[in-house]
A = this chain, B = another copy of it.
Amino acid sequence: MIITLNPLAGKVEVEQICQQLKNLELEAATLPHRPDISLMIYGVITENKLEIIRRLPKVVRTEKIQMPYHRASKQLHPEASVIQVGNVKVGGGNFAMIGGPCSIENSMQLEETAEYVKASGSNMLRGGAFKPRTSPYSFQGMGKQGLDLLHKVGKKLDMPIVSEVMSIDQIELFGDVDMFQVGARNMQNFDLLKELGKTNKPVLLKRGLSATIQEWLMSAEYIMSEGNENVILCERGIRTFETYTRNTADLSAIAAIKKLSHLPIVIDPSHAAGKRDMIESLALAAVAAGADGLIIETHPHPEEAISDGEQSLYPDQYAALTEKVWKLHQFMKTL
């Protein structure tokens, strides 16, 4: 339950109320993200206790917590969060244009990609070093060496970098990475989420292939409940009966998240569509729908890519799309 106090209540009065709640065997914590003076109450609140609480001095309102996620919920944090990733802000009107290859393959490929990604006006660099592949016999990524390359290139071009972490023991290798990515397959790897929650580095949390909006927010809550509130949600297509596309982009997730949560949401049209020539349409749709960013795969030579070549944009396609994205993002602010 949440109780809201008279805006004139002073620090001493708030402390008195907390003490009175303690006498009722209830814990209370202030809610820093609410514009009013509010307390969240933990413990079993009986009818009798509720009656007492309502009559406490300075208490003007009590309300139920509507959602099973608290920290991810808009109720406890009405304003949109702005997450700082390196020198880039995401959310609250700040847009992230994240580009890069699916897998980091070698130094030349990464540098070449990063340069045109930067030149096109993107503000963040992605690249996979640890790859969750369906087959144990497929390329599993360059590992730590890939992260080092990514760091070097990101630093040179002054772009924050994001890369996928697959297990707890990899966390310590991500010291130079600006944002962890949790992949769709690990969205409910709760032990991993808890460990990431003990860091203070931003986490890009992809939605699971068949995760409901609520389950996705509950997974964000796993990270946030450990103290790390720097979570960015990423929709990357859900699994449906349709086989023409790799997955089905659920762009209604944008409006849903904006209504339920204060966390930014980024769209990944590359994995959603799985087809290069559908990316632009989906990316622009995401911007118009109100997304806080895009994460898009590109490769200097998609036909030679080790993974996901058929969904990677050619350099000129990527540049053209980025230009449109920024123009549309600016235009949407005028509507």
A192 to B167, Cβ gap below 8 A?
yes
**A254 contacts partner chain B, Cβ-Cβ < 8 Å:** yes
CB-CB contacts of A181-219 with B at 8 A, as 1s and 0s?
Answer: 000011011111010000000000000011011110010
Alpha-carbon separation in the docked complex, A69 to B166 (Å):
22
Contact partner, A239, options B210, B222, B258, B289, Cβ 8 Å: B210
Q: Which residue of B lies closest to A169 (CB)?
A: B168
Contact partner, A222, options B136, B186, B213, B278, Cβ 8 Å: B136
Alpha-carbon separation in the docked complex, A285 to B289 (Å):
5
Alpha-carbon separation in the docked complex, A272 to B259 (Å):
17
Q: A190-B166, A285-B285 are in contact. Are A255 and B241 (CB under 8 A)?
A: no
Q: A186-B189, A241-B212, A335-B324 are in contact. Are A259 and B285 (CB under 8 A)?
A: no
- The B-contacting residues of A in range 233-265, CB under 8 angstroms, are 238-245, 248-252, 254-256, 258-259
B248 to A238, Cβ gap below 8 A?
yes
Q: How many residues of A contact B (CB 8 A)?
A: 70
**A32 contacts partner chain B, Cβ-Cβ < 8 Å:** no
CB-CB contacts of A265-285 with B at 8 A, as 1s and 0s?
Answer: 000000011000110111011
**A327 contacts partner chain B, Cβ-Cβ < 8 Å:** yes
Q: A285-B251, A289-B285, A335-B324 are in contact. Are A168 and B166 (CB under 8 A)?
A: no
Q: Which residue of B lies closest to A209 (CB)?
A: B210
**A133 contacts partner chain B, Cβ-Cβ < 8 Å:** yes
Q: Which residue of B lies closest to A190 (CB)?
A: B132
**A287 contacts partner chain B, Cβ-Cβ < 8 Å:** yes
B134 to A218, Cβ gap below 8 A?
yes
**A290 contacts partner chain B, Cβ-Cβ < 8 Å:** yes
Alpha-carbon separation in the docked complex, A272 to B299 (Å):
34
> In the assembled complex, how far is the CB of residue A333 from the closest CB belonging to chain B, in whole angstroms?
12
A242 to B288, Cβ gap below 8 A?
no
Q: Which residue of B lies closest to A245 (CB)?
A: B252
Chain B residues whose CB sits within 8 angstroms of the CB of A121 once the complex forms: none
Since A212-B242, A255-B277 are in contact, a sample of 12 more A-B pairs with Cβ atoms closer than 8 Å, ordered by chain A residue number, is A132-B188, A132-B190, A136-B218, A209-B210, A210-B210, A212-B244, A238-B241, A252-B273, A254-B281, A285-B289, A324-B335, A328-B331
